Amino acid sequence: MDQLSSSLLVASVVVQTLMVASAGNFNQDVDVTWGDGRGKILNNGQLLTLSLDKASGSGFQSRNEFLYGKFDMQLKLVPGNSAGTVTAYYLKSQGSSWDEVDFEFLGNLSGEPYIVHTNVYTEGKGDREQQFYLWFDPTADFHTYSILWNPGHVIFYVDGRPIREFKNLEQAGVPYPKNRPMRMYCSLWNADDWATRGGQVKTDWSQAPFTASFRNLSANACVWSNGVSSCPSNSSSNSAWFSPELDSSGQRVLKWVQKNYMVYNYCNDAKRFPQGLPAECTIRNRKQVKTHLLSRRL
């Protein structure tokens, strides 16, 4: 095991230990909102399962809305032939001009890898897909998937490893999710028109019901209620997640994951954007923000 892998393993163990210590209770924190009994809260609120059959999928949502926070969940995905199914874990605001931060796990044929599909919507517009393979079997055991959302960054983590960072580049005209409180949602549903190999592989309903499991939900976040945040104005001094960005070690891990496990990045898809790549794809630092602003004025 090389030094980087050793460091990642230690970090993963520490993060998962903290997850267990701060885990919530599904009976208190969420509502199963659809599925006609296919979503079940078990073990005195410590475990939640969602199932999918040909008639319906299922889903749940947090009782609270949030404006910034660190959200962690342990998931064990649908095993076996999961082609056509999507297990989703995401944050989303209300309305026609919404913000959204997505983890979607795209099922596959037995023995083929899951794809982790991520996206960020701002003001109702997405088209910011990045997709990854995982370095483990996500159906064999629970793993921790995290979203950090603060005024400067959205960061996606898998077992404590950052896999994606979306920066606040409002100065360059890139919208950022900052004004709309979001709930946390999870669901299991059929998407065999697109989920596996672009819809070429359909759901095998003889394998139903399909089941995904959730545990150790943690929302270290600012609860938004009646237009008021639970966080004081000086949250940055009280919450470790409120102002951090990836340090040099985190950036190295991010680059390592993206080099070895990224399978699609909208920022590399020039054919999709014939008028030019989105601004966030070409801006890496404050100097480049200034250059971008000057070019827009010319």
The residues that are catalytic are: 100, 104
Query: 102 forms bridges with which residues in the sheet?
Result: 90, 119
Structure tokens at 57: 């999928």
**Residue 179 Rama label (left phi>0; alpha psi -120 to 50; beta):** alpha
Question: Contact at 8 Å (CB) between 83 and 109?
Answer: yes
**Strands laid side by side in the 100-106 sheet:** 30-34, 58-62, 183-190, 85-92, 100-106, 115-121, 130-132, 262-265
DSSP letters of 5-21? HHHHHHHHHHHHHHHHH
Cα 92–95–98 angle (5° rounding)? 45
